[in-house]
Amino acid sequence: MKLIILDRDGVINHDSDLYIKSPEEWLPLPGSLEAIARLNQWGYRVVVCTNQSGIGRGLFGMDMLNAIHDKMIKAASHVGGSIDAIFFCPHTNADNCGCRKPKSGMFDEIAARYNVDLAGVPAVGDSLRDLQAAVSVGAQPLLVLTGKGKSTKLNPALPEDTQVFADLAAAVKKLTG
């Protein structure tokens, strides 16, 4: 089974310092949904792994998060793409949970759900914490320069084996030939 793990905000859709709090605020990045469809065509199962501390901060609830994800799933479907599962952490940094990236909790859940070792599995993110979580389980960190990616690229703590791409579409093109 081919698996790929994608962060949501800044990778699939536009990010906001004020959080994505409603389906109306969720806007796909150019080419991202088509990239998901291409992954599916090449046999990849696409899993989204996203920190959603807006829940823990009281900015939106589970109903709203589900509505946002419903919009994302439907938008991907309209271009022939499919998202296999969405894993999210609703906690804030102050909660010190095990699931919030850069910790590996969500990645460990993905490995258990699919009964796979994540070594070498591509994990696409735009922030340092996305890449650190990937590295902690042996996944291949792929940085996209959308979202927070341009500033992340300049971080001296960037994992050594991180591959860098302009956006999700460029990363997927490299993965699928």
Catalytic residue annotation? 7, 9
The four Cα atoms 166, 171, 173, 174 give a dihedral, to 10 degrees, of: 110
Do 35 and 75 touch, CB atoms closer than 8 A? no
- Count Cα neighbours of 5 within 13 Å in the Cβ-side half-sphere: 33
Q: What is the DSSP letter of 29?
A: P
CA–CA distance, 168 with 101 (Å, rounded to integer): 19
* Angle formed at CA 126 by CA 68 and CA 6, multiple of 5 degrees: 55
